[in-house]
């Protein structure tokens, strides 16, 4: 099995983290010719990263990859047993995909469109309020007592709140959201979190160098 893509992408990291939380390591590599090459588009017509390759099976879309890894790799289940708790974990991951990550996008693109940053910061604050309201209060991990697919999804996104803080004050947004702040501090300090922050940090530094 291998994951095609680069670990700066929160979507690629989500899939890698899902495997790691289950005690597995999946090699991550950039596809030869890049994600718009004919060969890559044959695997993933969307031309986005990641794509999981498992033998002759190619699977795009990080949420689906993470579920597939959870179902096929041995190790702890990354979704709670109780259907309501399981639904909540999925809801938190879905919230990240549909609302939180899009709120961050204009901040990624601030160099091209600095005028969009103030609205993006307001949207990000509103998305964090909703995330704080949706998660179980006081939980050690995002959706309960154990790491779940919600943590694998959200941890690589929260990396960027820290990374962009010197420019935009994004980490300070957590000061008013103590539940999220405590979750992120604990998640970042976990072995998987510390490794992730190092890897994303190194990848971001390389990206900024151009
Ligand atoms: N919904 C996709 C999103 C993946 C995605 O947007 N990946 C970005 C990198 S962070 C990408 O490949 N962008 C290149 C492009 O859209 O051309 C997933 O969850 O896998």
Q: Is 47 in the pocket of ligand 1 (CB under 6 A)?
A: yes
CA–CA separation, 169 and 174 (whole Å): 10
Which pLDDT score is estimated for 208?
A: 86
Asked if pLDDT for residue 120 goes beyond 90, the answer is: yes
Q: Identify the band that residue 210 occupies on the pLDDT scale cut at 50, 70 and 90.
A: confident
185 φ, ψ to 5°?
A: -60, -45
Could you identify the residue written with the tokens 């289940």?
Answer: 77
Query: If you take atom 14 of ligand 1, which residue's CA is the nearest one?
Result: 48
Mean pLDDT of 65-93: 98
Contact 35, 49 (CB under 8 A): yes
Which pLDDT score is estimated for 190?
A: 98
Residue 193 is inside which H or E element, if any?
helix 191-209
Asked if pLDDT for residue 151 goes beyond 90, the answer is: yes
- Going along the chain from its start, the domains and CATH numbers come out as 2-72 (3.40.30.10), 83-209 (1.20.1050.10)
**Tokens representing residue 7 in the block:** 């670990």
Which pLDDT score is estimated for 72?
A: 98
Q: Give the DSSP letter string of 3-21.
A: EES-TTSHHHHHHHHHHHH
Q: Whole-angstrom distance between the N-terminal and C-terminal Cα of the chain?
A: 30
Tell me the CA–centroid distance for residue 62 and ligand 1, in Å.
Answer: 9
Q: Is 62 in the pocket of ligand 1 (CB under 6 A)?
A: yes
Contact 152, 21 (CB under 8 A): yes
Could you identify the residue written with the tokens 């935009």?
Answer: 168
Tell me the CA–centroid distance for residue 63 and ligand 1, in Å.
Answer: 12
Q: At what angle do helices 149-163 and 178-189 cross, to 10 degrees?
A: 100
CA–CA separation, 63 and 79 (whole Å): 13
């Amino acid at each position: 099995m291998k994951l095609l893509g680069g670990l700066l992408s929160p979507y690629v990291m989500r899939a890698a983290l899902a495997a790691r939380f289950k005690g597995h390591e999946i090699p991550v590599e950039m596809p030869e010719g890049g994600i718009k090459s004919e060969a890559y588009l044959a695997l993933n017509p969307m031309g986005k990263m990641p794509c999981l390759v498992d033998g002759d099976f190619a699977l795009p879309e990080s949420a689906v990859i993470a579920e597939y890894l959870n179902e096929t790799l041995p190790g702890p289940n990354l979704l709670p047993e109780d259907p309501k708790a399981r639904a909540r974990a999925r809801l938190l991951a879905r919230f990240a995909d549909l609302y939180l990550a899009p709120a961050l996008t204009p901040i990624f693109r601030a160099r091209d469109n600095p005028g969009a940053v103030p609205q993006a910061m307001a949207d990000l604050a509103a998305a964090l309020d909703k995330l704080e309201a949706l998660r179980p209060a006081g939980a050690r991990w995002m959706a309960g007592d154990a790491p779940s697919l919600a943590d694998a999804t959200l941890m690589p996104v929260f990396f960027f709140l820290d990374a962009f803080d010197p420019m935009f004050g994004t980490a300070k947004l957590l000061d008013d959201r103590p539940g999220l702040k405590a979750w992120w501090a604990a998640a970042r300090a976990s072995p998987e979190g510390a490794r992730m922050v190092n890897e994303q940090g190194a990848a971001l530094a390389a990206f900024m160098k151009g």
